[in-house]
Amino acid sequence: MGVLVARRLLQSVVVILGVTLISFIALHAGGDPTYLFVSERATAEEIALVRQALGFDRPLHVQYLSFAADLARGDFGTSLSYRQPALDIVLGAFPATIELAVFAFVLAIALAVPLGVVAALNRGTAVDGSITILGLLGQSIPNFWMGIMLILFFGLYLRWFPISGHVPFLLPLLNGDLATAIGNLPRTIYFLVMPGIAVATYSLARNTRLVRSSMLEVLGQDYVRTARAKGLDERVVIVQHALRNAWLPVVTMIGLEFGFLLGGVVVTETVFSYPGIGRLLFNAINQRDIPLVQAGVILLAGNFILLNTAVDLLYARLDPRVALARRR
Amino acid sequence: MRAVRRDARHLWRSLLAAKWPVLALVILGVVALVAAFGPWLAPFDPARQSIASRLAEPLTTGQGATHWLGSDVLGRDVLSRLLHGARVSLLVGLAAIAVGGVIGVVAGLLAGYFGGWVDDVMMRLADMQLAFPFILLAIMFLVVLGPGLGNLILVLGIGQWVTYARIVRAETLSLREKEFVEAARALGDGTASILFRTILPNIVAPLTVIASFNVASVILTEAALSFLGLGVPPSVPTWGSMLAESRDTLLANKWWLAVFPGLAIMLTVLSFNILGDWLRDALDPRLRDRA
């Protein structure tokens, strides 16, 4: 176990270094990055000055080392549009994004399991057919378009849900204000419903199909037949014997799933004017605020990597077979 | 090559027995025709602005022709823009698959056939790329490189190579020990010939399946990037950028600007997904767990 932990941690350090290398390469992919930091009307002297100030006149390997060292100290540079440290701005938007991702994540898992089971138990019927078709549809709808359609129908036409905005829950919680956090929670969820559904659609569809097919496989196994032959209640057979094994493929995907949702959040937040990292990135992209884009992307990626590492280690603890399989 | 022909015959027979894949193929055929001939089918010039027919509702007649799907803020015809957008979506999707497929197939063949450090380097690179969401990588590069068809195809293509490399590597690993590969080696065939003429034809089936799902996901990603303003330059209409523009008129309930481009994306992606499902079941049921 100790070896496994050490190896997995070392792996994630290497990957995080890889991410910094990739973002460094990206910064230089278009030639001299100085031009990304000056206005179009800048004179040659101004450009030279900025180049020197930002250190772009140094050899590339020196630049990368100092870039990586800065990142390690938490210095992601100064945002061009906010004139503040990029990291602070991104961290400020982080709690809202976490709320959205967690909500969508819960939705994607909590609905996928019953839907998949129902489809499998009614194999070949109209119920199964509709769930299968909905699953295919869900995997084919761009999440931001799903958001726009929800806004049009449930927001503007039926007026059931707010079409934009956010009530913070994590932020007061992090500040130690438990009463405000709990008082906010119902409204937090109310505002999260539509963006949450939009973000969750793809994962929900994919997980439903996954649960359905693995449930079908499990239902044909001998131990399910044995359980039925013993005269066990059908509900016990399904929940305790079949489902426990059938949702393993979903469980093994959980880490990746969350990262996938974080990616979807980036675009969907823009649709709902949701004040998280996604909208921040969108604005930074439009203003070509490079340090802010880099800080946002690196932080999201770093988060994803750490989360995956944690989930992997957790599995290895829960299920020794996973530890063996992951080694391959 | 016999492997490819056998697969094709098998496909044809199972296509005749199915319904959904036929519908999907018909839809994709229409999209392909539109992508090829869109500019001649379009009732209006997609870039022509007209103050007189701003935000016309669907089925309104204006300037001598009908705006079947309405017009946008600048009076540009939605249908004409959709028809032109098909070209970008399909082109980007297929070209990105070609780029990613070629890189991935070569990498996978080399890694699987030679093993050793070649394999290690390729697979660690692949792991690293899979270690964080691809859209973040795409954002990072496109912000610096700037929007453009070439950049978009390149970045999306590089995003896909891992999928191909992994499948091809796994298949190559098992194929390289087979008798017919041994035979080719014994006959003195060069390495390149063994890789591309003996091994590759036997991997075409799983590759076709992966490619079909892949086009679907690339079109979705392209739409998302266009929506973020990182797609092709604004002068070219795309389904993603039409959706981005529709946000400004959403509150005024100009639903047709948001509904039709999204439907176009959904139908295309759905068709590729249905096609992928069917190809997988027909060609290679083992992929069920991997795709």
Q: How large is the greatest C-alpha to C-alpha distance in chain A, in angstroms? A: 87
The ipTM (two decimal places) reads 0.82
| A196 — pLDDT class (breaks 50, 70, 90) | very high
Residue of A nearest to B251 (CA): A156
Interface test with A, best of B82, B119, B128, B132 (most A CBs within 10 A): B132
- Residue A97: pLDDT over 50: yes
pLDDT given at position B105: 93
Out of B247, B253, B288, name the one closest to residue A156 (CB).
B253
pLDDT given at position A200: 92
- Residue A55: pLDDT over 80: no
A202 within a domain of the structure (yes/no): yes
Domain final residue pick, A22, A45, A72: A72
CA atoms within 13 Å, Cβ hemisphere of A47: 11
Please, what is the average pLDDT of chain A?
83
What's the domain count of chain A?
2
For the segment A262-307, what is each residue's pLDDT rounded down to a tens digit? 777 888 898 888 899 888 888 888 787 888 888 888 888 888 888 7
A169 within a domain of the structure (yes/no): yes
| Residue A111 one-letter amino acid | L
- Residue A79: pLDDT over 90: no
Contact B128 A136 (CB under 8 A): no
pLDDT given at position B291: 37
- Residue B278: pLDDT over 60: yes
The Cα A15–Cα A6 span in angstroms is 14
pLDDT given at position A262: 77
The Cα B236–Cα B148 span in angstroms is 10
The Cα A167–Cα A131 span in angstroms is 33
Residue of A nearest to B274 (CA): A136
A77 within a domain of the structure (yes/no): no
Tokens of A9: 């941690």
Out of A29, A142, A305, name the one closest to residue B141 (CB).
A29
Cα dihedral A243, A244, A245, A248 in deg (nearest 10): 100
Q: List for chain B the helix, strand, coil content (%; round to 5).
A: 75, 5, 20
- Residue A137: pLDDT over 50: yes
Question: Do A95 and A234 fall within a single domain?
Answer: yes
Question: Do A290 and A255 fall within a single domain?
Answer: yes
The Cα A260–Cα A125 span in angstroms is 32
Among residues B41, B43, B65, which one has the least CA distance to residue B53?
B65
| B290 — pLDDT class (breaks 50, 70, 90) | very low
Minimum distance, in Å, between the CA of residue A98 and any CA atom of chain B: 16
Q: What is the DSSP string of A181-202?
A: HHHHHHHHHHHHHHHHHHHHHH
Question: Do A29 and A133 fall within a single domain?
Answer: no
A81 within a domain of the structure (yes/no): no
By the CB < 8 Å criterion, does B230 face chain A? yes
- Residue B107: pLDDT over 90: yes
Q: Which domain holds residue A39?
A: 2-72
Minimum distance, in Å, between the CA of residue A328 and any CA atom of chain B: 11
By the CB < 8 Å criterion, does A9 face chain B? no
Helix (H, G, I), strand (E, B) or coil at A7: helix
Residue of A nearest to B142 (CA): A26
Contact B131 A267 (CB under 8 A): no
Q: Which of A:193-222 have CB within 8 Å of B?
A: 213
Question: Do A187 and A234 fall within a single domain?
Answer: yes
pLDDT given at position B251: 77
Question: Do A191 and A230 fall within a single domain?
Answer: yes
Q: Which of A:18-37 have CB within 8 Å of B?
A: 18-19, 22-23, 26-30, 33, 36
Residue of B nearest to A263 (CA): B133
For the segment B166-194, what is each residue's pLDDT rounded down to a tens digit? 889 988 888 888 888 888 888 888 888 88
CA atoms within 13 Å, Cβ hemisphere of B32: 9
Helices (H) and strands (E) in chain B, counts: 11, 2
By the CB < 8 Å criterion, does B148 face chain A? no
Question: Do A169 and A52 fall within a single domain?
Answer: no
A83 within a domain of the structure (yes/no): no
pLDDT given at position B17: 62
For the segment A210-254, what is each residue's pLDDT rounded down to a tens digit? 888 888 888 888 888 888 888 888 888 888 888 877 777 677 677
Question: Do A207 and A312 fall within a single domain?
Answer: yes
Helix (H, G, I), strand (E, B) or coil at A224: helix
| B285 — pLDDT class (breaks 50, 70, 90) | low
Helices (H) and strands (E) in chain A, counts: 15, 0
Out of A36, A139, A301, name the one closest to residue B144 (CB).
A36
Judged by average pLDDT, the poorest of A52-56, A103-107, A141-145 is A52-56
For the segment B229-262, what is each residue's pLDDT rounded down to a tens digit? 888 877 778 888 888 888 877 777 778 888 888 9
A100 within a domain of the structure (yes/no): yes
Question: Do A50 and A102 fall within a single domain?
Answer: no
pLDDT given at position B286: 59
Minimum distance, in Å, between the CA of residue B234 and any CA atom of chain A: 13
Minimum distance, in Å, between the CA of residue B270 and any CA atom of chain A: 5
Among residues A71, A86, A67, A20, which one has the least CA distance to residue A293?
A86
A186 within a domain of the structure (yes/no): yes
| B267 — pLDDT class (breaks 50, 70, 90) | very high
A234 within a domain of the structure (yes/no): yes
Which residues of A fall within a CB distance of 8 Å from B145? 29-30
- State the CATH number of the domain containing residue A215: 1.10.3720.10
Among residues A254, A143, A195, which one has the least CA distance to residue B269?
A143
Out of A26, A249, A301, name the one closest to residue B141 (CB).
A26
Residue of A nearest to B126 (CA): A15
Highest mean pLDDT, choosing among B39-43, B118-122, B261-265: B261-265
Question: Do A107 and A214 fall within a single domain?
Answer: yes
Q: Which residues, 6+ apart, have CB-to-CB distance to B106 below 8 Å?
A: none
- Residue B227: pLDDT over 70: yes
The Cα B8–Cα B17 span in angstroms is 15
pLDDT given at position B100: 93
By the CB < 8 Å criterion, does B68 face chain A? no
For the segment A239-249, what is each residue's pLDDT rounded down to a tens digit? 888 887 777 76
- Residue B102: pLDDT over 90: yes
- Strand partners for B66: B61
Out of B140, B141, B288, name the one closest to residue A213 (CB).
B288
Domain final residue pick, A44, A72, A100: A72
Helix (H, G, I), strand (E, B) or coil at A78: strand
pLDDT given at position A51: 82
| A103 — pLDDT class (breaks 50, 70, 90) | very high
DSSP 8-class letter at A151: I
Question: Do A35 and A102 fall within a single domain?
Answer: no
Size of interface A-B (CB pairs under 8 A): 136
Angle between helices B149-175 and B204-227 in degrees, nearest 10: 150
Question: Do A238 and A317 fall within a single domain?
Answer: yes
Among residues A202, A197, A204, A203, which one has the least CA distance to residue A271?
A197
Domain final residue pick, A13, A38, A72: A72
Question: Do A15 and A148 fall within a single domain?
Answer: no
- Residue B113: pLDDT over 60: yes
Contact B131 A288 (CB under 8 A): no
